[in-house]
Structure 1
C-alpha cells in the first residue's frame, strides 16, 4: 500500500495527458467529518482511530488497529478520512450530474468493517460512497468488486439492504485472505440475492476470470437495473502480485475496465464511479492498470500496446531503486503484457470438470433464482 503506487499512477496518467482531456477535472478531496464517517462506521471506532492517530493510545488491536496488516502511524485518521472524503465527493458529483464518470484510485479500501480495521483498510470509502448515493435518493446501487480479495467490508455493511447489489469476483477464501465470500452467502433475510460471490480457484488467469465475470455480472445488472454503478479495481489479481495466486495480466485487467464502462452505459445510465484497491507490484503493474482506468473513464482508452514515455520509466526506476536495485530492466516498456483476453462465453457450454465453471454454477444456482433468472440458461 506504499504511496509510491499512487504517485506513479498520477505521473503516468499525466504523462499521457489524461488530465488535460476535454471535460476532465481534478476534485480536491475533503477530509471526511466524523458525521460522514459515522454513516458507515460506529462512532466508538472513529474515536479509537482518532486516539491512535494522535498518539493518545498506542494501538487498539481489539479493533484491528496496530496489527501487522494495519500498523498505526501519525495522522492515520486524517489520511484515511481524506480517502473516504474523496470517494464520497466523487460519487456525489456523479449522482448530481456534475460528471458522468469519476475515479479515485486512492480508494477501494473494501475490507474495513463498521467497527474494525482489516486488510490495510481503516475507513471503508466504497461503502461511504454508496451510502451517500442512497442518502441522495438512489434506490438501486450496484457495486462490482474486481479485487483478488473478497470485498467483505462493503458486503457486511450492506448485508441487510436490498437497495445495494454487491458482487465480488475473487480468489476463493479457502486459499486467500479474508477467508470468506462463498456462493451461498446471499444477503440478509430481507435482502436475499443482493449479495453475490464468485470465488474462483487459485491459478485462474485472464480467460477463466473473464468467463466468470461475464457469466454472472451483466445478467444480474440487467435485472437489477442500478441507477449508478460503483466498481472496485484492485489489481492484485495480476500474476506478478506477491500476495495472491491469480494469474491475470494487465491486458485482462484493462479488459475489465472496458467491461465496467460498458456496464455503466448499458445498465446504469452511464453513471459510474470507480476506485482503485489492492495491488502490490507498485512499479510494473499498479500504475499501468489504473492509468488504463483513468483513460477509459475519461472517454478514450489507451491502446494496449501504447509505449510508456521514457521519462516516466526513469522516474519509476528511481522510485524502485529506493526499494531495491530494479533498474530500467524491471520497468515495463508498454501498457501491455501481451496477454490474450479471449474468454469462452457461458453460452458455449458448461464443463462440470472445470473448477472455474464449478464456482460459476454454484453462484448462479444460489443467486439467479432470487432475480427470476434460470441458472442454466440466462
Structure 2
C-alpha cells in the first residue's frame, strides 16, 4: 500500500440506524463518501476493511458491563421480549428516548467498534501514518449504559487497544459540540490517556458535563482538559481557544499517538446546539491536529467521526475537509487561496431524499459575510478567554 493515509470502510456503519427520522442517520456517511469520490480524492486503494466482529466483540466485553451487553443483545431482536423491554430504560435504551433500541443493534454497534479498532491497528502497526473511520466516534457510551445516540464506545475501544497492545501514550481530542463524557470517564484515572474536549458548555447542552474543573482524579489528575464554550461562539473565538489548548496539551503530555473525534455540530446550521461557527473551523482544526501529530507523534493520527446533524449542508463538507487534510490534498491550496473558486462538484449529491434542502452549498467554505454577526461577540469572546485561562491553570 503506497498511501500513508487509509480510509476504514464504514459501509457497515449504515446498519447503525435507529429509525428514519432519528438525527443520527447514516446518510451522512454516504453523502461524504460520494462527495470525495466525485472530487477524485477517494478510491478503493485507500480503503481497509474493519477487523473481524469476533475480535471487536471481545474488546466490547472488556469495556462494557456484561449485563448491559446482554440487554443490548436481547433488545436487538426483531420483537424483544417484554420483560427485557420493561428494563430497557435502566440501560439508556428506551424506545422513546435519544438512544432507542432497534433490530440488529448489537451487531451494528460491534461493527462500529471493529472499524475503529482497524484504524488504531493500521496506524500502530505501521501500515499507515493516519487512518480515518467516519462511522466511529460514539463517545457518549458508558460501561453500563448507552447515551446520546451511542451504544458501545468505539473511541474508548481504540484507545484501550493502543494502551494494551502497544503501551503508547494517547492524546484524545474531541471537537464535537457535546462533551466527550464517555471517553473522559473511561480514562479519568489513567495518567497515560489525556482527554481534551471542546464543546458547548454543559450549562445549556447535553450531557451537562465537561466543565473546566474536571481535570482527572488520582493518578489521572492533570490528564483531562475541558473547554466549555459559550453559546453563539463564532469562528475566531473557537479557534483561538482550540489552538492554545491543543498546543498546551501536546507540550505537557508528549503523546505517542493522537486519536481525534470530529463531530461537526458546532456549525451555525446544526439543529441540536447553539454555536455560530462556520466551515472555517472544520478546515483549521484538522490542520492543527495534523501539525501536532507531525511534531509530537511521528505523524501517528487516528480520526473518528461523531455528531453532526445538518446531514446535507454541513457534515459532508466538514468530514471531506478532514480527509483532504489527512492526505495533504492539493485541493486544500485552492480552498485556502481562492475560497470562492473552491466549488463542490456540480453533480453532487446524486442521492435523493425528501429531506434534501432546496438550496445546497456550492462551495467548500461558507461566505460568512452574508451572515448576521452575533450582537454579543465581544462579551462571548471575553468569557471564552477567561474560561480558557481557568482551564489551562493545571497545565502550568
SS in 1 for 2:47: coil
For residues 173-184 of structure 1, the aligned pairs below 5 Å read 173-184=202-213
Deviations 1:111-143 (A, max 9, x none): 001111000000111110000000112331000
Change (3 A) 1:251 1:353: closer
TM-score, normalised via structure 2 length: 0.85
8 Å CA contact 1:296–1:302 kept in 2: the answer is no
SS in 2 for 1:198: strand
Residue 38 of structure 2 corresponds to residue 27 of structure 1:
no
Name the CA distance, whole Å, in 2 between partners of 1:139 and 1:290. Answer: 27
Q: Structure 1: where are the runs of 5+ without partners?
A: 341-350, 374-378
8 Å CA contact 1:202–1:245 kept in 2: the answer is yes
SS in 2 for 1:212: helix
State the partner residue of 1:323: 355
Residue 48 of structure 2 corresponds to residue 48 of structure 1:
no
For residues 218-237 of structure 1, the aligned pairs below 5 Å read 218-237=247-266
State the partner residue of 2:320: 291
- Per-residue deviation at 1:15? 1.1
Q: 1:356 aligns with which of 384, 391, 394?
A: 384
CA RMSD of aligned residues (A): 2.0
Name the CA distance, whole Å, in 2 between partners of 1:42 and 1:268. Answer: 33
- Per-residue deviation at 1:28? 3.8
For residues 1-378 of structure 1, the aligned pairs below 5 Å read 1-20=24-43, 24-28=46-50, 30-31=52-53, 33-54=56-77, 55-56=80-81, 57-58=84-85, 60-66=88-94, 67-300=96-329, 302-303=331-332, 304=335, 305=339, 306-313=342-349, 315-316=350-351, 318-319=352-353, 322-323=354-355, 326-327=357-358, 330-339=359-368, 354-365=382-393, 367-368=394-395, 373=396
- Per-residue deviation at 1:354? 1.0
SS in 2 for 1:19: coil
8 Å CA contact 2:168–2:257 kept in 1: the answer is no
Deviations 1:265-285 (A, max 9, x none): 111110000011110000000
Mean CA deviation greater in 110-119 or 9-18: 9-18
SS in 2 for 1:309: coil
Mean CA deviation greater in 269-278 or 58-67: 58-67
Name the CA distance, whole Å, in 2 between partners of 1:247 and 1:39. Answer: 39
Name the CA distance, whole Å, in 1 between partners of 2:135 and 2:110. Answer: 12
How many residues in Structure 1 have an aligned counterpart in Structure 2? 351
State the partner residue of 1:376: none
- Per-residue deviation at 1:353? 8.4
8 Å CA contact 1:39–1:131 kept in 2: the answer is no
- Per-residue deviation at 1:29? 5.1
State the partner residue of 2:376: none
SS in 2 for 1:18: coil
- Per-residue deviation at 1:205? 1.1
Name the CA distance, whole Å, in 2 between partners of 1:183 and 1:357. Answer: 12
TM-score, normalised via structure 1 length: 0.88
8 Å CA contact 2:237–2:381 kept in 1: the answer is no
